[in-house]
């Protein structure tokens, strides 16, 4: 009697594992975030996010040039203006960075831009706060977001990506884009964005942590509660109906159940955001010798595609070529 190898027969060699794999990570499906920060003299590393910097206008162009050489030609830009406001925001700094990227790299680069107010306010909330400081005003915030999206699209963005979680912003943004002959600009909605603790390193990089003496201390009144999966479904359905081209789940790893379910239910391209805290967790373990960094990153990306993502926003996009060569 031989040994029973009913399932292990297909696992016995790299060749047969290659031939039977069902999910592939392709670097063409990854998007690299960048932070463009006004008023710093030199670029500054972001703690936890190896190889990611708060960039100056010059260093941003240099970094993107290097990224293009390593095959990371799709980016998500976060503009961090120097002057903070409470209403009537000025979006020119971020628009200027978009225009500079477009001018330098032309259509070689695919530029998505995050649309939110948290980096532009002193209190770090994602919108306009009521005078008594106890809530974010929806309509007034949506009007500013639509104006930001229009400014970024006019500056040359391929895609605008609102991450604020106000109600009705997708419809308002689509309308203002269409009214200004920007019907080709893509709209990616952070439609299933949860009120997560995994955004820590990002908030340091983007000056966007809630702060000050407002009654509002966090984002619980607009981001989705981690224990409300039905809210994520409703939000994504609504955003698809309002005109979003791409939907998103964020964070990634702790919300794979959401991604798997929603991507089956709603037939749109799904993005997933491997957020700063998840990315940093792997980097910190790797620095302690507890995991092999590249292999652990590739395993996380594999999980996202397996769960139904068609694209992944990850701080490691610029290393994908190298890591995939090492790990597959």
Check: CB of residue 122 under 8 Å from CB of residue 181.
no
Annotated catalytic, 193? yes
Annotated catalytic, 103? no
Nearer of residues 293 and 316 to ligand PBG, judged by Cβ: 316
DSSP string, 188-230: EEEEEEB--STTHHHHHHTT-S--SS-S--SSTTTSBPTT-HH
Least distance in angstroms from the C-beta of 294 to ligand PBG: 19
Residue from 37, 111, 116, 192 binding ligand PBG (CB under 6 A): 116
Nearer of residues 13 and 192 to ligand PBG, judged by Cβ: 192
Stretch in the footprint of ligand PBG (CB under 6 A) among 65-73, 135-143, 146-154, 199-207: 199-207
Cross-strand partners of 53: 45
Check: CB of residue 158 under 8 Å from CB of residue 106.
no
- Torsion from C-alpha of 169, 175, 176, 180, nearest 10 degrees: 160
Which one of the listed residues 74, 193, 197, 261 is annotated catalytic?
A: 193
Q: Does 114 bind ligand PBG (CB under 6 A)?
A: yes
Nearer of residues 31 and 101 to ligand PBG, judged by Cβ: 31
Residue from 135, 203, 237, 261 binding ligand PBG (CB under 6 A): 203
Stretch in the footprint of ligand PBG (CB under 6 A) among 6-14, 67-75, 127-135, 196-204: 196-204
Residue from 60, 77, 100, 126 binding ligand PBG (CB under 6 A): 126
Nearer of residues 53 and 202 to ligand PBG, judged by Cβ: 202
Least distance in angstroms from the C-beta of 163 to ligand PBG: 4
Nearer of residues 203 and 321 to ligand PBG, judged by Cβ: 203
Q: How many helices (H) and strands (E) does the chain have?
A: 11, 12
Check: CB of residue 236 under 8 Å from CB of residue 160.
no
HSE-CB at 198 with a 13 A cutoff on CA atoms is: 20
Q: Does 239 bind ligand PBG (CB under 6 A)?
A: no
Residue in the structure block whose two tokens are 């798997």: 260
Enumerate the H helices of the chain as residue ranges: 14-20, 57-69, 92-105, 138-155, 169-179, 200-205, 229-242, 256-265, 276-287, 293-306, 320-327
Query: Which residues in 264-303 contact ligand PBG (CB under 6 A)?
Result: 275-276
Q: Which residue of the chain is nearest ligand PBG when measured via CB?
A: 202
HSE-CB at 105 with a 13 A cutoff on CA atoms is: 26
The distance from CA 1 to its chain's CA centroid, rounded to whole angstroms, is 55
Q: Does 53 bind ligand PBG (CB under 6 A)?
A: no
Instruction: Report the distance separating Cα 161 and Cα 76, nearest Å.
Output: 9
Nearer of residues 13 and 44 to ligand PBG, judged by Cβ: 44
Binding site for ligand PBG (CB under 6 A): 114, 116, 118, 126, 163, 199, 202-203, 208, 219, 275-276
């Amino acid at each position: 009697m031989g040994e029973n190898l009913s399932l292990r027969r297909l696992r016995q060699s790299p060749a047969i594992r290659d031939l039977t794999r069902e999910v592939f990570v392709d670097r063409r499906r990854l998007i690299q975030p960048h932070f463009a920060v006004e008023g710093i003299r030199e670029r500054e590393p972001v703690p936890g996010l190896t190889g990611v910097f708060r960039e100056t206008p010059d260093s941003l162009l240099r970094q993107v040039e290097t990224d293009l050489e390593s095959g990371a030609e799709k980016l998500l830009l976060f503009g961090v203006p120097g002057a903070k406001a409470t209403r009537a925001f000025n979006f020119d700094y971020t628009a200027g960075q978009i225009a500079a990227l477009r001018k330098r790299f032309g259509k070689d680069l695919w530029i998505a831009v995050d649309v939110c107010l948290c980096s532009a306010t002193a209190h770090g909330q994602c919108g306009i706060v009521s005078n008594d400081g106890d809530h974010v005003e929806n309509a007034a915030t949506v009007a500013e977001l639509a104006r930001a999206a229009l400014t970024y699209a006019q500056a040359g963005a391929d895609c605008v990506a609102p991450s604020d979680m106000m109600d009705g912003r997708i419809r308002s943004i689509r309308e203002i884009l269409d009214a200004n002959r920007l019907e080709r600009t893509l709209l990616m909605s952070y439609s299933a964005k949860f009120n997560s603790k995994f955004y820590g390193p990002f908030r340091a990089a983007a000056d966007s942590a809630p702060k000050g003496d407002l009654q509002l201390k966090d984002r619980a009144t607009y981001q989705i509660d981690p224990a409300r999966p039905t809210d994520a479904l409703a939000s994504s359905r609504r955003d698809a109906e309002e005109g979003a081209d791409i939907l998103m789940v964020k964070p990634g790893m702790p919300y794979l159940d959401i991604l798997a379910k929603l991507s089956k239910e709603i037939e749109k391209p799904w993005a997933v955001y491997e957020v700063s805290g998840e990315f940093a967790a792997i980097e910190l373990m790797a620095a302690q010798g507890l995991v092999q960094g590249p292999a652990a990153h590739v395993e996380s990306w594999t999980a996202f595609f397996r769960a139904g993502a068609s694209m992944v926003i990850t701080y490691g996009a610029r290393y994908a070529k190298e890591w995939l060569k090492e790990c597959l």
